C-alpha cells in the first residue's frame, strides 16, 4: 500500500472511533443537482443594497469532494455530482453547531475528509463575493470514504487543464477513475446512448419489431470472419459466438414479420487496433418488400436524425476532425466502377486482371497471387477512393464474388444490388437487396465452401437450415448493417474505438495491488 492509502485507512478508523459511519446504509434524500443550481439560482437586489435569495434555499445534494480550499475558520469545497460541479461554503461555527469542543470542523472535515470522498450536504444556495453560485452548508454527512487518491486534474478560469489524467492504459483499465476526473469522457458515452436511443426510436416509428436472436450459434454465418469457439457441456457440441445475426433475422422475415431489427454485440476473433475490438455492437435491420434504393432513403433519414440529436445546434452538419459533414440527404450515389474511374482513371469494367495487377504494382498497392479480379478492385478502391469519401456517399453495385448473400443486380450482370455507406473516409454501413432465391443461395454457399477448402479461414459456412427457410419462401427483402461503435466514433469525433467502449478489451493487468 502507498503512503496515501495507509493514511486514508487510518482516517477511516478515526472516523469510526468518533462514532461516524463512513459507509452509512440509509438513503440520502437528494433534492437538487449541482448543474441545475448553478444554472437556475436567482436573487434580487433590494433597495437597501442587500440581496434576497429566491430559490434553492433548502437543498440536499450529494457527490464527491473534488477540491478543498481552506481559509481559516471557513472552507470551500467543490462537490461533483452526476450533473457537474458546485462550490460548497462551510463555516466552522455553523458546522460545529456552536459547540466550541465539537470535532466536526477541525478534525472531521479538515483532517479526516479526503478528496474523492462521497458526502451529502444540506444547505442554501447563494452567490459569493466573487460571483460564484455556491451552497452554504448547514449539515454535512459522510456517504462513502475513498481509500485511494484520485488523479487531481485542475482547470483554470480559461479552461486550461493541468495534470490531466491521460495515460490510455490507466484510463481504460480504470474507466471509473477516467469518468470521475475527465468530464468529456462522460459526454462521449452520453452521446453514445443518445445515438442508440435515437436510432431505436426511428426504427420503432418505421414499424420494425425489435428482436433478439442467438448469440451462441452452432454454425457461424452471415459474415466473413473468424469466430470465437466455445463448447456446450450437456449437448457436448461446439457453439460459436455470433459473428453476425443476419441469417437469423432473415428467418424471421421468412416467418412473416415485415420488418425486424436487432442491436447487439457481435464477436470476431481477429486482430485489435483502434477500429477493432473483439466484441462490438452492430445494428441490423431487414424489411420485406423493399430494395436497396429504399434503404438509402431510410439511411439518410436515420443519420440526419442522429446528427440533429447530437449536434450542439440541432443542425444536420457535424464537425468531425477537420471536416464539416452534412448528414442531410440525399447523399451522393456512386457506383463502385464510377468511383474508381473518377479517382484513378481506370475502367475496371473493361480492364482484365493483368491490367489491374499492373496498376496495383505501379501504385504501391500490395497484392498477392490468389487475388481475383473482384479482390483487386476492392484493393484499388480501398487505397485510392475510400479515403476521399468525406461527405456521406453511397457506393453501389459490387462484384458478385464478394457478396454471397446478396441478390444479383436487376440489370447489370456480374454485379449485386449492394451499397456501402462511407463517411469521413470510412465505411459505416453495408446493405443489400437480400438474396431470396434458394437455389442461387445454395450455389453461393458452395462457392464459399470451395474457398474454405482452399484455406480461406473466413469463408462462410453452409447453413442448411437457412437454405430450408429460403426454400419455404422469403419475400423480397432489403437489409442493412451499421457498426454502432464506428457511428459513435464519427458522431463524437473520436479516432479510436476504445474511446467509445466503456471497457475495451485489454491484456490482463500485471499484479499491482
Partner RNA sequence: GAUCCCGUAGCUCAGUCGGUAGAGCACUUGACUUUUAAUCAAGGAGUCAUGGGUUCGAGUCCCAUCGGGAUCACCA
Q: Residues 414 to 443: which contact RNA by CB under 7 A?
A: 427, 430
Binding-site member from 21, 58, 139, 167 for RNA (CB under 7 A): 167
Question: Which residues 348-377 are close enough to bind RNA by CB under 7 A?
Answer: 366
> CA–CA distance from 145 to each of 150, 171, 183, 189, 305 (Å)?
12, 22, 22, 26, 43
Stretch touching RNA by CB under 7 A, among 44-52, 143-151, 183-191, 201-209? 143-151
Q: What is the smallest separation between the CB atom of 37 and RNA, expressed in angstroms? A: 14
Q: Is 129 in the site for RNA (CB under 7 A)?
A: yes
Distance CA 22, CA 145 (A): 6
Q: Is 131 in the site for RNA (CB under 7 A)?
A: yes
Query: In 182-289, which ranges are continuous DSSP H helix?
Result: 183-205, 246-254
Q: What is the smallest separation between the CB atom of 192 and RNA, expressed in angstroms? A: 14
Distance CA 147, CA 162 (A): 23
Q: Is 380 in the site for RNA (CB under 7 A)?
A: no
**What contacts 83, CB < 8 A, 6 or more positions away?**
33, 34, 35, 36
Binding-site member from 54, 152, 190, 201 for RNA (CB under 7 A): 152
Q: Is 506 in the site for RNA (CB under 7 A)?
A: yes
Question: Which residues 265-284 are close enough to bind RNA by CB under 7 A?
Answer: 268, 270-271, 273-278, 280
Question: Which residues 49-68 are close enough to bind RNA by CB under 7 A?
Answer: 67-68
Q: Is 497 in the site for RNA (CB under 7 A)?
A: yes
Question: Which residues 464-483 are close enough to bind RNA by CB under 7 A?
Answer: 483
Residue with cell 464527491: 64
- DSSP calls for 44-73: EE-TTS-EEE-S-SSEEEEEEEEEEEEETT
**Cβ closest to RNA, residue 190 vs residue 506:** 506
Binding-site member from 21, 58, 163, 210 for RNA (CB under 7 A): 163
Binding-site member from 87, 146, 182, 393 for RNA (CB under 7 A): 87
Distance CA 354, CA 10 (A): 76
Q: What is the smallest separation between the CB atom of 507 and RNA, expressed in angstroms? A: 3
Distance CA 410, CA 137 (A): 73
Stretch touching RNA by CB under 7 A, among 194-202, 294-302, 342-350, 505-513? 505-513
Distance CA 509, CA 285 (A): 38
Distance CA 465, CA 463 (A): 6
Amino acid at each position: 500500500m502507498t503512503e496515501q492509502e495507509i493514511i486514508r485507512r487510518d482516517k477511516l478508523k478515526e472516523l469510526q472511533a468518533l462514532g461516524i459511519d463512513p459507509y452509512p446504509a440509509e438513503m440520502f434524500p437528494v433534492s437538487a443537482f449541482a448543474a441545475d443550481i448553478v444554472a437556475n439560482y436567482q436573487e434580487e437586489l433590494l433597495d437597501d443594497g442587500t440581496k434576497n435569495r429566491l430559490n434553492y434555499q433548502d437543498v440536499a445534494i450529494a457527490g464527491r469532494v473534488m477540491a478543498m480550499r481552506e481559509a481559516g475558520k471557513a472552507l470551500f469545497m467543490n462537490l461533483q455530482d452526476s450533473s457537474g460541479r458546485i462550490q460548497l461554503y462551510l463555516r466552522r461555527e455553523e458546522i460545529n453547531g456552536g459547540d466550541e469542543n465539537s470535532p466536526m470542523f477541525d478534525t472531521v472535515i479538515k483532517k479526516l475528509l479526503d478528496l474523492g470522498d462521497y458526502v451529502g450536504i444540506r444547505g442554501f444556495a447563494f452567490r459569493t463575493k466573487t460571483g460564484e453560485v455556491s451552497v452554504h452548508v448547514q449539515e454535512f454527512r459522510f456517504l462513502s470514504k475513498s481509500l485511494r487518491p484520485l488523479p487531481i486534474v485542475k482547470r483554470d478560469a480559461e479552461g486550461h487543464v493541468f495534470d490531466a489524467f491521460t495515460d490510455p492504459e490507466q484510463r481504460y483499465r480504470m474507466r471509473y477513475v477516467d469518468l470521475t476526473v475527465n468530464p468529456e469522457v462522460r459526454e462521449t458515452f452520453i452521446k453514445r446512448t443518445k445515438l442508440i436511443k435515437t436510432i431505436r426510436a426511428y426504427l420503432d416509428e418505421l414499424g420494425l419489431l425489435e428482436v433478439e436472436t442467438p448469440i451462441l450459434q452452432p454454425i457461424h454465418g452471415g459474415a466473413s470472419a473468424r469466430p470465437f469457439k466455445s463448447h456446450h457441456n450437456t449437448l457436448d457440441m461446439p457453439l460459436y459466438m455470433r459473428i453476425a445475426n443476419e441469417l437469423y433475422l432473415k428467418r424471421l422475415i421468412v416467418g412473416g414479420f415485415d420488418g425486424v431489427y436487432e442491436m447487439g454485440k457481435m464477436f470476431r476473433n481477429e486482430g485489435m487496433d483502434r477500429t477493432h475490438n473483439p466484441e462490438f455492437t452492430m445494428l441490423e435491420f431487414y424489411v420485406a418488400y423493399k430494395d436497396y434504393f429504399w434503404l438509402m432513403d431510410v439511411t439518410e433519414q436515420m443519420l440526419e436524425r442522429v446528427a440533429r440529436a447530437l449536434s450542439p445546434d440541432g443542425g444536420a452538419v457535424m464537425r468531425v476532425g477537420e471536416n464539416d459533414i452534412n448528414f442531410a440527404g440525399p447523399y451522393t450515389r456512386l457506383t463502385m466502377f464510377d468511383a474508381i474511374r473518377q479517382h484513378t482513371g481506370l475502367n475496371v469494367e473493361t480492364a482484365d486482371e493483368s491490367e489491374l495487377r499492373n496498376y496495383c504494382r505501379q501504385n504501391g498497392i500490395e497484392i498477392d497471387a490468389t487475388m481475383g479480379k473482384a479482390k483487386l478492385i476492392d484493393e484499388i478502391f480501398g487505397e485510392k477512393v475510400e479515403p476521399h469519401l468525406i461527405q456521406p456517399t453511397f457506393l453501389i453495385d459490387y462484384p458478385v464474388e464478394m457478396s454471397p448473400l446478396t441478390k444479383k443486380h436487376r440489370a447489370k450482370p456480374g454485379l449485386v444490388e449492394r451499397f456501402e455507406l462511407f463517411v469521413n473516409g470510412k465505411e459505416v454501413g453495408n446493405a443489400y437487396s437480400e438474396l431470396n432465391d434458394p437455389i442461387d443461395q445454395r450455389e453461393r454457399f458452395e462457392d464459399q465452401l470451395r474457398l474454405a477448402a482452399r484455406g480461406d479461414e473466413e469463408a462462410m459456412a453452409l447453413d442448411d437450415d437457412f437454405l430450408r427457410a429460403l426454400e419455404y419462401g422469403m419475400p423480397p427483402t432489403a437489409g442493412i448493417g451499421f457498426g454502432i461503435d464506428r457511428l459513435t466514433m464519427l458522431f463524437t469525433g473520436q479516432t479510436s474505438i476504445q474511446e467509445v467502449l466503456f471497457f475495451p478489451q485489454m491484456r490482463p493487468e500485471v499484479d499491482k495491488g
